[in-house]
Homo-oligomer: A and B are copies of this chain.
């Protein structure tokens, strides 16, 4: 690599424009941090006639991807097209042509990480992707480098800013789902077609990437159980609040069925004394609980206590709470998307390549390789959780007896129950009944649910969410 590093930017939309801006407006800073100049040499776009940032010299803008990728002067290709079609070809071609690749493409890595990383290893080149998960929040470095002394035992993360924005609006302004979504679209926090954001798919892509780094598993996004926020009624937000909880869409990874059993103190410190004291030696810590070599992954709305760290993440922010068996819990929070936050992560990757750190990290991490960490993905059925269950029930005798009998059959006990008095003018119409259970295996809870939904006294399919503790 020559002294100056030359960049080709493929795609110059929102994030690409931000990357160009940082490289061009802050060239001195980037040079100083990278130890050498990082020069934007080519910008490939679909429509060269569109107005662009005035800092981008017109003569470096073109529509010719191949010319950019095969330009022998280019050292790094930054792929910001998105998707798994053309973007995949760009990345594979760039690697084959001997270029390092920086990408923000979560779908590509989640779907074809093994293929991309194998191609990179074959070409002896590096792929960097800090921007692919949680935008400006440096969670890829945290998991891969900062927490390298740890085996991660659990991850709980808010990875979709759109969903979190909508849930925040519903919670803080008593809005319906439809109204909150419309507001998010008006403000640019949701696309015209918001499906991938609100149904949990986007978060599942990002969780697949975090799971690869933390557990070495290559879960396909479509294999990750997911439930979106589109089933949440304003009523559920109100009931949750009444019970002391906030609803958040979480992407979660749990490594053992014990992990969500309410014993947070022990989990948070890895079972090890984490006091600040003092001089002299500590008693030797007890051996850590063996980590089960299986991990359950899912995306779902979860009821969190108002005081939980993740309950307090508002608006379009992202946050990742990581449990490590040595450090305990650490939290990483910030803007999960947007032009400049994402550009911040892309340019950090370029600087890392300039410094030479990224190449070392890539070689050592062996991501999406055959050298796994021995973890398997298990379905979330075994994860134990408390559950929030809302039923629309006929207001007549015996209904509660039927429901509680079914729960008892699956050995699920009830922690609390809310049923408000029916309104006078609607005494005969169904009323909401909310049940909060004690800990139960997800599988048993779902079995109970199937039977409950078949009761003649149930007016609509049950709505249910996990509880964070």
Q: Mark A330-353, 1 if CB is under 8 A from B, else 0.
A: 111111011111011111100110
Instruction: Name the B residues within 8 Å of A151 (CB-CB).
Output: 26, 29
Closest residue of chain B to A352 (Cβ to Cβ) is B145
A204 to chain B, nearest CB (A): 18
Closest residue of chain B to A12 (Cβ to Cβ) is B281
Interface size grouping (class) on chain A: 35 or more
Cβ–Cβ contact A285 & B21, under 8 A:
yes
Q: Which of A354-362, A380-388, A420-428, A434-442 contacts B (4 or more CB under 8 A)?
A: A354-362
Closest residue of chain B to A162 (Cβ to Cβ) is B276
A154 to chain B, nearest CB (A): 14
Instruction: Name the B residues within 8 Å of A341 (CB-CB).
Output: 274, 326-328
A32 to chain B, nearest CB (A): 8
Instruction: Name the B residues within 8 Å of A284 (CB-CB).
Output: 17, 21, 52-55
Of A17, A287, A337, A340, which is in contact with the most chain B CB atoms at under 10 Å from its CB? A340
Cβ–Cβ contact B188 & A278, under 8 A:
yes
Instruction: Name the B residues within 8 Å of A149 (CB-CB).
Output: 22, 26, 29-30, 33, 343-348, 351
Cβ–Cβ contact B331 & A331, under 8 A:
yes
A168 to chain B, nearest CB (A): 12
Q: Does A294 contact B (CB under 8 A)?
A: no
Which of B35, B52, B53, B363 makes the CB contact (< 8 A) with A364?
Answer: B35
Complex: how many Å from CA A335 to CA B18?
A: 34
Instruction: Name the B residues within 8 Å of A337 (CB-CB).
Output: 274, 276
A186 to chain B, nearest CB (A): 10
Q: Does A378 contact B (CB under 8 A)?
A: no
Q: Does A79 contact B (CB under 8 A)?
A: no
Instruction: Name the B residues within 8 Å of A360 (CB-CB).
Output: 355-357, 360
Instruction: Name the B residues within 8 Å of A138 (CB-CB).
Output: 142, 145-147, 330
Cβ–Cβ contact B280 & A13, under 8 A:
yes
Q: Does A392 contact B (CB under 8 A)?
A: no
Q: Does A161 contact B (CB under 8 A)?
A: yes
Which of B21, B147, B344, B373 makes the CB contact (< 8 A) with A147?
Answer: B344
Q: Does A399 contact B (CB under 8 A)?
A: no
Q: Does A245 contact B (CB under 8 A)?
A: no
Cβ–Cβ contact A136 & B361, under 8 A:
no
Instruction: Name the B residues within 8 Å of A364 (CB-CB).
Output: 33-35, 355
Cβ–Cβ contact B148 & A348, under 8 A:
yes
Cβ–Cβ contact A331 & B328, under 8 A:
no
Of A53, A189, A269, A330, which is in contact with the most chain B CB atoms at under 10 Å from its CB? A330
Cβ–Cβ contact A333 & B334, under 8 A:
no
Which of B148, B272, B352 makes the CB contact (< 8 A) with A33?
Answer: B148
Q: Does A195 contact B (CB under 8 A)?
A: no
Instruction: Name the B residues within 8 Å of A351 (CB-CB).
Output: 148-149
Q: A14 with B277: in contact, given A334-B327, A344-B150 (CB under 8 Å)? A: yes
Q: Does A446 contact B (CB under 8 A)?
A: no
In chain A between 43 and 69, which residues have their CB closer than 8 angstroms to a CB of chain B? 50-55
Q: Mark A278-315, 1 if CB is under 8 A from B, else 0.
A: 11111011011000000000000000000101001000
Cβ–Cβ contact A269 & B327, under 8 A:
no
Q: Does A324 contact B (CB under 8 A)?
A: yes
Q: Does A25 contact B (CB under 8 A)?
A: yes
Closest residue of chain B to A344 (Cβ to Cβ) is B327
Q: Knowing that A13-B281, A145-B352, A162-B276 are A-B contacts, what are 5 other residue pairs whose CB atoms are under 8 Å apart, sorted by A's residue number?
A: A54-B284, A137-B330, A327-B340, A332-B332, A355-B360
Chain A residues packing against B (C-beta within 8 Å): 12-14, 17-18, 21-22, 25-26, 29-30, 32-35, 50-55, 130, 136-138, 141-142, 145-151, 161-162, 187-191, 269-270, 272-282, 284-285, 287-288, 307, 309, 312, 316, 319, 324, 326-335, 337-341, 343-348, 351-352, 355-357, 360-361, 363-364, 373
28 A/B residue pairs, CB under 8 Å, sorted by A = A13-B280, A14-B278, A14-B280, A22-B149, A26-B151, A32-B373, A35-B364, A50-B281, A136-B327, A136-B328, A138-B145, A141-B145, A147-B348, A148-B347, A148-B352, A149-B345, A149-B347, A191-B277, A273-B339, A274-B338, A309-B312, A324-B344, A328-B341, A329-B334, A331-B332, A355-B360, A357-B360, A360-B360
The 3 closest A-B pairs by CB, nearest first: A138-B146, A188-B277, A330-B334
